[in-house]
Amino acid sequence: MLKVGLTGGIGAGKSEVSRLLASYGAVIVDADRIAREVVAPGTPGLDAVVAEFGPDVLTPDGTLDRPKLASLVFSDADRRAALNAIVHPLVAARSAEIEGAAPSDAVVVHDVPLLTENGLAPLYDRVVVVEASPGTRLDRLVRLRGMTENEARSRIAAQATPEERLAVADAVLRNDGPLESLEDQVRRLWQELGEIAAPGEGTSAS
């Protein structure tokens, strides 16, 4: 099994890379998706969040009000640490469960937005970083995600710098151009990962 950490700044296109790798046969462990699952209604995770932050973080239908919670923790390091102490162990346990169910020769890609920020690079055999220029990322966040320019700049500034991400990268995918260019890069990456996971056999990207 080859464990790959996939990361990139917001707006760089990491989710598209994850989708492409999944289409080639990678087992994807999506930290963001799992983080939502572990605080779904009826879970111990949601109970713990409500106990820590109060019932005001729930919507009328009993689901987690993620924007409300984000507003509480975004600029408060102590509150953010409290939330992470609840969610991170649950995400880690579920991630380990998915990885454990994968075949022994699988390429398991952990899609982790804050891999660099949380010092997680040593957990993986290879770290893949998706990068795009600040201008490209800003444009995508405003045009495609509906953020204001100030919101987008704040989100970018709250993450690791490109230099910090590149410092832990074993492979870098540049995503400022058309989708076809990214697809070519991911196809080559998949071939390389397959050769590492199963020397002499390779992995088909067809």
**Where is 145: in which H helix or E strand?**
none
Q: Is the pLDDT of residue 205 over 70?
A: no
67 DSSP assignment: H
For 89-113, how does the pLDDT look when each residue is reduced to its tens digit (9 = 90+)? 999 999 999 999 999 889 999 999 8
pLDDT confidence bin for 204, thresholds 50/70/90:
very low
Domain 1-26+106-206 classification at class level: alpha beta
Q: Is the pLDDT of residue 183 over 70?
A: yes
pLDDT at position 75: 78
pLDDT at position 202: 45
pLDDT at position 199: 65
Query: Measured between alpha carbons, how far is 86 from 57 in angstroms, rounded to an integer?
Result: 15
Span 13-24, mean pLDDT?
96
Rounded to the nearest integer, the mean pLDDT of the chain is 92
Would you kindly state where each structural domain of the chain is located, as residue ranges?
1-26+106-206, 39-104
For 141-153, how does the pLDDT look when each residue is reduced to its tens digit (9 = 90+)? 999 999 999 989 9
pLDDT at position 74: 79
pLDDT confidence bin for 131, thresholds 50/70/90:
very high
Q: Is the pLDDT of residue 23 over 70?
A: yes
| Angle at alpha carbon of residue 26, lines to 176 and 117, rounded to 5° | 55
194 close to 188: Cβ distance less than 8 angstroms:
no
Largest Cα separation within the chain, whole Å, is 56
Span 180-200, mean pLDDT?
90
pLDDT at position 206: 40
Q: Provide the whole-model pTM.
A: 0.83
Closest CA to 94 of 34, 40, 39: 34
Q: Is the pLDDT of residue 203 over 90?
A: no
